[in-house]
Chain A
Amino acid sequence: EAGVTQFPSHSVIEKGQTVTLRCDPISGHDNLYWYRRVMGKEIKFLLHFVKESKQDESGMPNNRFLAERTGGTYSTLKVQPAELEDSGVYFCASSQDSTGAEKLFFGSGTQLSVL
Chain B
Amino acid sequence: LAKTTQPISMDSYEGQEVNITCSHNNIATNDYITWYQQFPSQGPRFIIQGYKTKVTNEVASLFIPADRKSSTLSLPRVSLSDTAVYYCLVGDEVNAGKSTFGDGTTLTVKP
Contacts and interface: CB of A to CB of B under 8 A. Distances in A.
B22 to A, nearest CB: 15
Interface residues of B, number: 22
Given A42-B102, A43-B101, A101 B43 contact: no
Contacts, number: 67
Contact of B49 (A4, A44, A103): A103
A105 interface: yes
Given A42-B102, A42-B103, A100 B97 contact: yes
Interface stretch (B8-16, B58-66, B69-77, B88-96): B88-96
Given A42-B101, A43-B101, A100 B43 contact: no
Q: Which 9 A-B pairs have the closest CB atoms?
A: A106-B43, A101-B97, A99-B93, A43-B101, A101-B96, A45-B98, A91-B43, A103-B46, A106-B44
11 contacts: A42-B101, A43-B100, A95-B97, A97-B93, A99-B94, A100-B96, A101-B97, A103-B49, A104-B46, A104-B97, A106-B44
Given A45-B99, A109-B43, 9 more contacts: A42-B100, A42-B102, A45-B97, A91-B44, A101-B93, A104-B97, A106-B42, A107-B43, A108-B41
